[in-house]
Structure 1
Amino acid sequence: MKQIKTIIPGFSTLKHAAQWLCYLLVLAILSGSMVALFLWLLELATEFRWQHEWLLFLLPVAGVLIYLLYRFKGKRSEKGNDLVIDEIHEPGGGIPVGMTPLILFSTIVTHLFGGSAGREGTAVQMGGSLAALTGKWFRLPANKAGTLLMAGIAAGFGAVFGTPVAGAVFALEVLTVGKLRYQAFIPCIIAALLADLVCNAWGISHVQYRNYLSEDLNADVLLRFNWLLFLKVLLGGILFGLAARLFATGLHTFKKMVSKLPVRAGWLVPFAGGCIIIGLSYWLQTSDYLGLGVSSKTEAGTSIISAFRQNGATDWSWFWKILFTVITLGTGFKGGEVTPLFFIGATLGNTIAAHTGAPADLFAALGFIAVFAGATNTPIACTLLGIELFGPAYALYFTVACFAAYYSSGHKGIYKSQRVPVSKFDKWRRTTDG
């Protein structure tokens, strides 16, 4: 029994194990169902916006609505993912139950009117909020509640992307750079698997990205090792890390600048942000950088999916997505950062491939996961994400790209509450010096 207890807090007896399974089942049903509702509404909102492009002109008004909602109904929820991470590190403040409906509604509104945002942040916040609610129902003490919050992150992430293994490891890896809380792995993987099953049971399907990789490339990577391709992947990983650093630094700097503006009427900030997004869209004469960016309204448009084709992105598509997303999230609109990071990475990968002669589909896949790895300091989770999304044939290249991005992205990722106990390079030197 001691061995069981060291793996999962509270699993000292079969009774306690059954209790934990009950907690995780309740959490998974709640999280998986809410993520399914969210993804369904998100798809409806995106299609409706494509059919009614005039909705973009209401984006400034949507921003004001979101500002007022958070000002009067959810001030503590404003911290988003950082609130969940902070509560795991230093329990006490609690996570409002109202975070779930607030972030769900505000993210749908952001996408309906054309804001450039993602969905991971919404799923993680809902998972954390529902984990806190589950903990209150079962009256869990602080140490168990923290583990359940980590399971909530895993459940939200695993269900929204259909990648439960990556979701579980992400929940462990995102808290502290270079340190994993292995004792929470089993609750996290159970919650992520069950939440993904619940989401699928509601009829929600995820994009099958491996379908966009050519079979010839798959056979080539499996049968022989290519040193030239390996060096191109390493170079690409460094560039992906620099793009992640640009995004994270740009987002934090822009938010800091906005917070220092001498504006008494706070609602003017999202109103102005919406106006800037409208102006940029018409200046560039494209709507490709609005919304998620997974697919485009037209086949000729730029999207994550188009990036897997030769010449499927322009040289600066990745930069414009950074700019649109920084302005959207930096002025108070809601949603996640990860799907825009997928877009940034996939289009940058396509550009690198075009200039180096590398396979466009492989480099789109590498950028997809590596920019995310650099921006969140989660290279292991992102390597597993690549394997779950694209298959195991490219595992070596996934690993190289993700860790190269991790080391070249600096220490400050998109989550301010993420702990950095030691330098990435100090930890590496200690390991190699024995």
Structure 2
Amino acid sequence: MKQFKTSLEQFTVAYELLRWTILVLPVALIVGSLVALFLWLLDFVTHFRWEHEWLLYGLPFAGVLIYWLYRLGGKNADKGNNLIMEEIHEPGGGVPARMAPLVLLTTIITHLFGGSAGREGTAVQIGGSMAGLIGKKLRLTPADTRILLMTGISAGFGAVFGTPLTGAVFALEVLAIGVMSYDALVPCLIAAVFADVVCSAWGIHHTHYSIAYISQPFIESLPFLHLDLWLLCKVIVCGVAFGLSSFLFSKLIHSIKHNANAYIKIPWLIPFIGGIVIIVLCYVAGTFDYLGLGVSSKSAGGISILAAFDANSGVNDWSWLWKLVFTAITLGMGFKGGEVTPLFFIGAALGHTLALLLGAPVDLFAGLGFIAVFAGATNTPIACTLMGVELFGTDHVLYFAVACFTAYYFSGHSGIYGSQRIVVPKYNNGAD
């Protein structure tokens, strides 16, 4: 009887696997295709802005346009990623399908006119809204809709960065601090893998990053000691700095949003003023390199994520802080886009600076900052460690983990997602 029961469980597992594959495939197909369109448009408007720098002066008016687009047709879609997370925690009114075209359009407008923003938020919102639409059409139960929304997050994230494993784990880890929901593990992995395949099939190519540094043992005479312990100490120190910068970013963006709404009584003036501030900051910083995604720059010697991996690039000691301020103002004052790619920039530039200060390999520490600042700001250290593996390879995986886990703890309980719940605190404050 026990053997029969075990066999029955395996059939049940096989049935659920087949069922979720069938449910997830349309999500992956639609989200992968929309993310491909989004990335193509993003690349087009970025290069167009580089050729027509005068577009920056239209940023305040673009902000007003974004405000009215959401005011007229957005309704609760303006809550973005937080709305999707709230629906997963407690199903309510659902995730509106209009979120996808609205966030896609407004993110493109933000980048066309020079706002400092990313792409993850847009991809996740596309995934969540399309998953919600499919769940509604199929009349799924609240429990199944919850899982389908998580697959939308994983599909959007996996496709936009070309990191399907990270996308799957991110969707499980980002919802709450301290726990992961394993009931959606396989559906999220299926969604992320297929969405990435679909996105790539449309001819989209992701940026290639590499770390040339080869790790050596600190003491050559001890063959069993495979680590450079002195380098590991530097990684820990930098992990603390990465966590603190995550904390600063999260606090600043929330503070700007709160104070803008509290002190600027006319709502459409918030993005208008924000656009003016960004224009002024460009002239104070003396460069336009902190606008847009920041993956690459218009000029060969410019400041960008890719440049941060080069010890002889134009990245300076304060590049990370400039990008942090530009992005916090852009997103805190009503423009649309994600936070993650700017976090990559902040982390890579900070890692570059710290590596030169500590006499450490610049490309390795730029890579560590790339993933660790993201880990601290989103409270997803496991997903970010896996991202390091998917982007940079397995050679330095222990350093990836140490940097991400350290940043996670030192970022505190703050984060860029207000709807993220604290289930297991990061530390015990002594209370019973």
Aligned to 2:24: 24
Q: 1:358 aligns to what SS in structure 2? A: coil
- Partner of residue 116, structure 2: 116
- Tell me, yes or no, if the aligned pair for 2:60 and 2:275 is still in contact at 8 Å: yes
Q: Residue 277 of structure 1 aligns to a residue in which SS? A: helix
Is structure 2 residue 214 aligned with structure 1 residue 218? yes
Check the 8 A contact 1:240/1:405 in 2, yes or no.
Answer: yes
Partner deviation per Cα, 1:344-391 (whole Å, 9 max, x = no partner): 000000000010000000000000000000000000000000000000
Residue-pair matches, total: 422
1:257 to 251, 256, 259: 259
Equivalent-residue separation in structure 1 for 2:376 and 2:5 (angstroms): 38
**Per the alignment, in what secondary structure is the counterpart of residue 175 of structure 2?**
coil
Q: Distance in 2 between matches of 1:377 and 1:407?
A: 9
Once the two structures are superposed, residues 161-212 of structure 1 have per-residue CA deviations (whole angstroms, 9 ceiling, x without a partner) of: 00000100000000010100011100000000000000000000101112xx
Amino acid at match of 2:190: I
SS in 2 for 1:404: helix
SS of aligned partner of 2:317: coil
Query: What letter matches 2:26 in structure 1?
Result: V
| Cα distance change of structure 1 residues 93 and 105 upon mapping to structure 2, 3 Å threshold | same
What secondary structure sits across from 1:367 in the alignment?
helix
- Which of the residues 343, 366, 369 maps onto 1:367? 369
Contact map agreement 1:221 1:393 (CA 8 A) in 2: no
Which structure 2 residues correspond to residues 23-422 of structure 1 after superposition, within 5 A?
Answer: 23-210=23-210, 213-214=211-212, 217-218=213-214, 220=216, 224-263=226-265, 265-312=266-313, 313-422=315-424
How far the C-alpha of 1:23 sits from its partner, in A, is 1.2
Unaligned residue ranges in structure 2 (runs of 5+):
none
Is the CA contact 1:2–1:12 (under 8 Å) kept in the aligned structure 2?
A: no
Deviation string 1:20-49 (CA, Å, 9 cap, x unpaired) is 211110000000000000000000000000
Structure 1: tracts of 5 or more residues without a match: none
Q: Deviations over 1:254-286 (max 9, x none)?
A: 1110110142x3111111100110111022220
Q: Residue type matched to 1:403 in 2?
A: F
State how far apart, in whole Å, the 1-side matches of 2:204 and 2:429 are: 41
Structure 2: how far apart are the matches of 1:429 and 1:221?
A: 42
Partner of 1:288: helix, strand, or coil?
coil
Task: Judge conservation of contact 1:86–1:417 (CA < 8 Å) in 2.
Answer: yes
CA contact (8 A) 2:169 2:382 kept: yes
The answer to whether the 8 Å contact 2:347/2:370 transfers is yes
One-letter amino acid of the counterpart of residue 69, structure 1: L
The letter for the 1-side match of 2:177 is V
Distance 1:102 1:397 in 2: 39
Using structure 2 for the length normalisation, give the TM-score: 0.94
CA distance in 2, matches of 1:245, 1:415: 12
Distance in 2 between residues matched to 1:316 and 1:192, nearest whole Å: 36
Q: 1:81 to 1:367 in 2, by over 3 A?
A: same
Q: Quick one: which amino acid aligns to residue 31 of structure 2?
A: S
Cα 1:427/1:28, change in 2 over 3 Å: farther
Range with greater deviation from structure 2 (418-427 or 182-191)? 418-427
Deviation at 1:136, TM superposition (A): 1.4
Q: Distance in 2 between matches of 1:40 and 1:97?
A: 21
Conserved 8 A contact 2:264-2:270: no
CA RMSD of aligned residues (A): 2.1
Secondary structure class of the residue paired with 1:309 = coil
CA contact (8 A) 2:151 2:187 kept: yes
- Distance in 2, matches of 1:140 and 1:416, equals 27
**Contact 1:221/1:394 (<8 A) preserved:** no
1: CA distance, partners of 2:6 / 2:184: 14
Task: Check whether the contact 2:261–2:267 (CA below 8 A) recurs between aligned residues.
Answer: no
The CA distance in 1 between the partners of 2:194 and 2:32, in whole Å, is 8
Please give the per-residue CA displacement for 1:309-337, whole angstroms capped at 9, x wherever unaligned.
11431000000001100110011000000
Contact persistence 2:371–2:404 (CA under 8 A): yes
For residues 419 and 94 of structure 1, what CA distance do their matches in structure 2 show?
19
Q: Is the 8 A contact 2:173 2:180 kept in 1?
A: yes
Distance, in Å, in 2 between the alignment partners of 1:291 and 1:77 is 23
Tell me by how many angstroms 1:220 deviates: 3.6
User: How far 1:421 sits from its partner (Å)?
Assistant: 2.1
Deviation of 1:221 (Å): 7.3
Give 1:271's aligned amino acid.
F
User: Which segment drifts farther, 61-70 or 218-227?
Assistant: 218-227
Please tell me the residue identity of whatever aligns with 1:343: F
| CA separation of 1:258 and 1:17: change in aligned 2, threshold 3 A | same
Q: Distance in 1 between matches of 2:431 and 2:386?
A: 25
After TM superposition, the structure 1 stretch with the greater mean CA deviation from structure 2, 280-289 or 402-411, is 280-289
What is the CA–CA distance in structure 2 between the aligned matches of 1:5 and 1:330, rounded to whole Å?
53
